[in-house]
Structure 1
Amino acid sequence: MNKHAYELWLIWQNPQTRQRYHIGRLLHDSDSYSFRYENSGYRRKLKEAMENGYKPHLAFPDINKTYSSNKLFGPFARRLPDNKRPDFHSILQDLGLPTDYTNMDLLRATGGRLATDTYEFVAPIFTSNSHFDFDFYIAGWRHYDGDQIIHNIQPGEQVRFELDPDNEQDSKAVIVLSDKYGKKLGYIPAFYSGFMYEVIKNSSTYNANIATVNPKAVPQLKVNIAVVGKFSKDLNKMDFKKDYEIQLLR
C-alpha cells in the first residue's frame, strides 16, 4: 500500500442494507488533526447516507463544521488497540507496521473497526497530474469464489475488473476477478466503484494487483488490491474531482 500525506475517509455502513457510504474525512497535518463531513457530491456520500438513515456522530453533531484538535479525537483514538497490551508488538507485526508507527498508520491498518458500531476508516484515492492510485479490500468476499483459491493466490498477481451494469444495488458496480484463475472474488467497495466505473468507461489505463492476502482474517479483510493508473485524455479530471472528491497531491 502506497504512503502519502495523511488523510483517511470515514465510512458508515447502513446496518439494515449493508451499503457503505463515505461520510467524512480525517486529516493529520504536522501536530494537528481535523475532521469534517463529506458534504461534496452525492453518490455514496453524506447526503445519500442521511437519506438512508445516517445520523451525525454525537461527538461531531454539526455537519458543516470543521473540527480541530492537537491530538487524535477521543472517539477515534478509542478505536485503536491499547499499546499497553502484552501482545501489542505482535499486533504491529501482524499489521505490517514498524515500531515507530503513528496513530494514523494504526487507524488505517485496523480500519478502526469496533463490534459495537458500523464505522471504519479507509485510505482515499490519490492523483498526481494524470496518474492515480488507491487500494481497497475486496467487498462481498464471502459470497463468491475467493475461498476456493485463497491458499493459491499470491501478492503481485493481477486481478481484472468488469462492469456490472445490471447490478440491482449499484448500477456502477465493478466486479473483481482473479486474472490467473478466472474466479470472481467480489466487488470494489461502492465508495470507490463510481470512480473506477468512470475510469474504465473512459478507457483510462490501470494495473490492479493483489497487495496482501490473509486467509485467517475476517472476510472483508482477506485480500487487499492495489490499483495504479493514468487518466485518459477523454476524462475531464476537474469534473471528476468535483464528482468523486479525489485527493490531489501537491
Structure 2
Amino acid sequence: MSNRPFVLWLIWQNQETRQRYHIGTLSSLNGEYTFSYELSGKRRTLIEAMENGYRPHLAFRDVNKVYKSNRLFDAFARRLPDKRRPDFHELLESLGLPKDYTDMDLLRATGGRLATDPYEFVAPIYRYGNHFDFDFFIAGWRYYEGEKALRELKIGEEVRLERELKNPKDKKAVVILSTKSGSKLGYVPAFYSGFMFDVIEKQDQFYAKVEKINYNAKPQLKVVISVVGETTINEYEGSDFNIIERLEFV
C-alpha cells in the first residue's frame, strides 16, 4: 500500500450533555494539509452535532468545502505550544517527541486542547479490508503498575489486551497487561476500547506490542502501544462515535 496520510479527527464536545461528535477530519500528506467536515451518515458526526448546538468554526464556515493549505491552518496552528517559549525543548521531551517532530505529531500529542473551547484532536483506527491498525498511549498509566514495570518493558515486546468485564465505569473496558510479569499497565483509551472489546469478544486475530517508550515524558504519554489485526466487524457502534478511518486499497 502506498504512503497514507497522517489523519486526525476533530472532536467537538457539547458542554451541557458531555457528548462528543466527530465533526471534521484533518489530514497531512506530502506537505499538503486538508480539512473537511464529516458529513457521513454515521452517528455523532457534523449533522447530529449541529442538531445539538454546534456551529461551524469561524475559519471554516462552508461545511461542504474541502479546505487545502501548504502549511497547517492558522486556526489549528494556534493550538500548538509556542516554539519561542524558553522551556519548549523540555516540553517536547515531556510529550515524548523528537526534535524532528512535525506539527501533526505535536497536535496529536497535545490534542490541540485549549481551556477556552470544547475541541480536541484524536487519531483514528486505520482500516482497509479486514485489516486494521492503530497506536495509542496507555490510559491510566500513573494509577496502576506501569511505572514499576517500565524498566522491564522493551520496544517490540508483546502485551496482552483483555476485556475487564466487571469494570464499574466502562462496560467495554480493555486492560493492558505485561506478557512477562502480568503487571497491569493501564487501559486502552475509551476512544478505542469498544472496538477492541468487540475484536477480543469475536476472537479475531490481533497482535499488540510496545511501539515506543518515552522515559521522561508525562505519565499519560510514556508508552505507546501499537495493534494490528484482522476483523470481520462491519461497522463499529460501541462508543460515542465511529473511530474508524476507512482506507481504500491502492
Secondary structure in structure 2 of the residue aligned to 1:208: strand
How far did 1:198 drift?
Answer: 1.8
* Alignment correspondent of 1:187: 187
* Alignment correspondent of 2:37: 36
Secondary structure in structure 1 of the residue aligned to 2:227: strand
Letter in 1 for 2:75: P
State yes or no: 1:140 paired with 2:140.
yes
Cα distance in structure 2, aligned partners of 1:136 and 1:63: 32
CA separation of 1:105 and 1:140: change in aligned 2, threshold 3 A: closer
Cα distance in structure 2, aligned partners of 1:68 and 1:90: 33
State yes or no: 1:95 paired with 2:97.
yes
Q: TM-score, normalised to structure 2's length?
A: 0.73
Aligned pairs for 1:79-118 within 5 A: 79-84=79-84, 95-96=97-98, 98=100, 102-114=102-114
Letter in 2 for 1:245: I
Query: Bigger CA drift: 179-188 or 148-157?
Result: 148-157
How far did 1:40 drift?
Answer: 4.9
Q: Is the 8 A contact 1:37 1:63 kept in 2?
A: no
RMSD of aligned Cα (Å): 3.8
CA separation of 1:92 and 1:222: change in aligned 2, threshold 3 A: closer
Cα distance in structure 2, aligned partners of 1:223 and 1:13: 26
Q: Is the 8 A contact 2:127 2:244 kept in 1?
A: no
* Alignment correspondent of 2:205: 205
Ranges in structure 1 where 5+ consecutive residues have no aligned partner? none
* Alignment correspondent of 1:176: 176
How far did 1:22 drift?
Answer: 5.0
Cα distance in structure 1, aligned partners of 2:106 and 2:189: 21
* Alignment correspondent of 1:27: 27
Secondary structure in structure 1 of the residue aligned to 2:151: coil
Q: Is the 8 A contact 1:145 1:184 kept in 2?
A: yes
How far did 1:78 drift?
Answer: 1.3
How far did 1:158 drift?
Answer: 1.4
How far does the alpha carbon of each residue in 1:108-139 deviate from its partner, in whole angstroms, 9 at most, with x for none?
A: 35443456666443322112333211000111
Secondary structure in structure 2 of the residue aligned to 1:151: helix
Aligned pairs for 1:69-88 within 5 A: 69-70=68-69, 71-84=71-84
* Alignment correspondent of 1:246: 245
Cα distance in structure 2, aligned partners of 1:32 and 1:154: 34
How far did 1:175 drift?
Answer: 1.0
Letter in 1 for 2:179: D
How far did 1:189 drift?
Answer: 1.0
Cα distance in structure 1, aligned partners of 2:76 and 2:190: 23
* % identical equivalent positions: 46
Q: Is the 8 A contact 1:25 1:38 kept in 2?
A: no
Letter in 2 for 1:33: T
Aligned length: 238
Secondary structure in structure 2 of the residue aligned to 1:226: strand
How far did 1:205 drift?
Answer: 0.8
How far did 1:246 drift?
Answer: 3.1
How far did 1:159 drift?
Answer: 1.1
How far did 1:81 drift?
Answer: 3.7
Ranges in structure 2 where 5+ consecutive residues have no aligned partner? none
Letter in 2 for 1:248: L
* Alignment correspondent of 2:167: 167
CA separation of 1:214 and 1:28: change in aligned 2, threshold 3 A: closer
CA separation of 1:166 and 1:55: change in aligned 2, threshold 3 A: farther
How far does the alpha carbon of each residue in 1:55-93 deviate from its partner, in whole angstroms, 9 at most, with x for none?
A: 567546879555624242223101224445677677668
Q: Is the 8 A contact 1:27 1:35 kept in 2?
A: no
Letter in 1 for 2:246: Q
Q: TM-score, normalised to structure 1's length?
A: 0.73
